[in-house]
Amino acid sequence: MSLQTYSPEFSDLIISNEQINHIVTNYAEGTFIGIEPHSERFAPVYGAKGEAYRAHNPVKAFDLSVTLSQTSHSNDVLSTLLNLDRETLEGTFTLTFKDSSGTTIFTENSAYIGSEPSQSFAGGGGIESREWTIHLPNPSYTLGGNGRFTAEVQSNVEALGGQVDPRWQSS
């Protein structure tokens, strides 16, 4: 088995529309991208006598949080997109998040920003962060790992109808 490696320097967040193609830069220290489902996909339901059921929620949405340094000019891009959306209702954009040191990727063609992040300013030489939340109504995605697949895991993924990029296939 090969050594699995994640490297944040190979993680890119790209925002684009008809006017721009922007690679987000100057993330804050620590967790800089967070992606979480907007709602549970299947919820457990139990009957009066303990019968077990599940309720399917067809919503596929995620919320992506990106934490930037207050010094990042990507704040300007996001702020301008939000203002454009408020004024024209045409501030949606394509968002791609890709971990090139692994197989995780998210793509959304109708991403949008719900609100500005909270603002704080520090004295004494401190630099604050700005956490933006971007809504992904119906993304295409793969939640993947890092490093080469073992033959067994590759076989399992393919048996389930998935594909393994040649770069990550077992040797």
Domains of the chain with bracketed CATH: 8-168 (2.30.110)
Return the pLDDT at 78. Answer: 98
pLDDT per 10-residue tile (average), the chain, 171 residues: 84 96 95 95 96 96 97 97 96 96 96 93 88 98 92 94 91 76
SS3 content of the chain, % helix, strand, coil (to 5): 20, 35, 45
Return the pLDDT at 1. Answer: 55
Q: Which of 153, 152, 136, 135 is nearest to 144 (CA)?
A: 153
pTM score, whole prediction: 0.90
In angstroms, how far apart are the furthest CA atoms of the chain? 62
Return the pLDDT at 126. Answer: 85
Burial (CB count within 10 angstroms: exposed 0-12, middle 13-18, buried 19+), residue 63: middle
Return the pLDDT at 123. Answer: 85
